[in-house]
Every structure is written in C-alpha cells, then in structure tokens.
Structure 1
Amino acid sequence: MILDERSYAIWPQYVKDYLHIYETEGMALQVSHLGDLIGWFTTDTGIVNEVVHIWRYADAGDRERRRAAMEADPRWLEFRAKTSHFVQSMRSRILRPTSFSPLR
C-alpha cells in the first residue's frame, strides 16, 4: 500500500471558490477514478491557502493506472480547465507506511 499526498497552494482570494467547485463538480469524478480517498484538508497554520488530499493505492502500478484513466477523462480535463487558474503551486509525495504504522 502507498499513500499519495497532494498539496495545492491556492491563490488566497480563490480558496472558497476552488473548494466549492471541487466539492460540487470534481470530487465525485475524482473518487470514481482514484478510489480510496483518505482525507481532504485545508491548512489552519503555516501556508493557510493550501489544500491537501491523501489517496490510498495498492501499489505504484495501481496509482499509475488510475491517474492515467482520470487524465484521459474529458470531464476531468474540463474540471481542471475551470480550476487551474486558482492554483499557485502543487506538490505530490508518495508515502509508504512503516511496519508499525497503524495505517497500512
């Protein structure tokens, strides 16, 4: 199992707009492709205009197949076109649980 942690710095004036469009138009579509959503968060300290989401995959191949299918979906491309101007920067990290992690 791996976790894909994705962080997006959103232009401060657009955080509410981004969250609204994601919740109403993007979330169901993304979950239909990626599957196991662990959580979706906003930050309360530090970079306060950041959103973070974490997805669970069986392995790197599972992640690659699911993300490729999503990127090929015209509905996802339409959603991204609506929201890409809200995003300042993006970071993605792959996390692997330790043998003693409660989340495995």
Structure 2
Amino acid sequence: MAIYELRTYQVTVGKMSEVTRLYKELGWPALEKHPKKLVGYFTGDIGALNQLVHLWKFDDDADRRAFWAGLFADPDFMAFAAQLRPLLQHQENKLMMAAPWGPHP
C-alpha cells in the first residue's frame, strides 16, 4: 500500500525568494537525478505564509527509506541542503496513508 510523506518547511520571513532561487538552481537539478517520487511542491498564498510544502508518494516504507538514503548520499543534493537549511526555521514531516475512498495522486 502506498504511503505519502507531507513535508512542511517553515521559511524565515523574507527568505522565500532565496529558497526559490536555491531550488531552481541547485535543488531541483539534484532531485531530478533520482527516482520520481514527488507529487508536488507548494507555497502558501493565504493563511500559513512562508511555508514550502511538498508531497511525496512511495510504494511503502522501505521505498521511502531507500529514496531518502539515496538522496542524502548525493553530494549535489547535500550541497544544496547545506545552503537551504539556514533559511528554514523548522521542518514538519507527516507520513500518511490514502483513505479508502476518493481519488489518490
């Protein structure tokens, strides 16, 4: 059964443009080299602002752990992460399972 990981990064106020630049120039090119598990990236417009939210879909927990292990072993991704982390206040991860009704990504 598929599992979903919802990651929410709270970006320091005034730093979203720098986060966006880093993702465009370094983060996304590094991520594209890895298995396609990303459902999407989102930013807040109303309500919770200064957040970067991303949703990932994995076959199971083993698939999830293998993906993150591969990503964290990638020097290009880790160079990006080293620049991103100082711009974040905190990170929240949620593991979710699809409800047994309705559409699923």
Q: Which residue of 1 aligns with 2:83?
A: 82
State the one-letter code of the partner of 1:43: G
Q: Secondary structure at the match of 2:40?
A: strand
Shift of 1:45: 2.1
Hey, what's the Cα distance between the residues in 1 that align with 2:79 and 2:54? 20
Tell me how large the CA RMSD over aligned residues is: 1.3
Q: Which residue of 2 aligns with 1:44?
A: 45
C-alpha contact (below 8 Å) 2:8/2:52 kept by paired residues: yes
Hey, what's the Cα distance between the residues in 2 that align with 1:53 and 1:61? 20
Q: Secondary structure at the match of 1:5?
A: strand
Q: Which residue of 2 aligns with 1:55?
A: 56
C-alpha contact (below 8 Å) 2:26/2:77 kept by paired residues: no
Q: Secondary structure at the match of 2:71?
A: helix
State percent identity of aligned pairs. 26
Question: What TM-score, normalized to structure 2?
Answer: 0.91
- List runs of 5+ in structure 2 lacking aligned partners: none
Q: Which residue of 2 aligns with 1:96?
A: 97
State the one-letter code of the partner of 1:46: G
- List runs of 5+ in structure 1 lacking aligned partners: none
Hey, what's the Cα distance between the residues in 2 that align with 1:79 and 1:10? 15
Q: Secondary structure at the match of 1:48?
A: coil
CA deviation digits over 1:40-62, x for unaligned, max 9?
10011222100100011111100
C-alpha contact (below 8 Å) 1:43/1:51 kept by paired residues: yes
CA deviation digits over 1:43-92, x for unaligned, max 9?
11222100100011111100000100111111111111111110000000
Hey, what's the Cα distance between the residues in 1 that align with 2:31 and 2:69? 12
Shift of 1:34: 4.7
Structure 1 outlier segments of 4+, above 6 Å: none
Number of corresponding residues: 104
Q: Which has the higher helix share?
A: 1
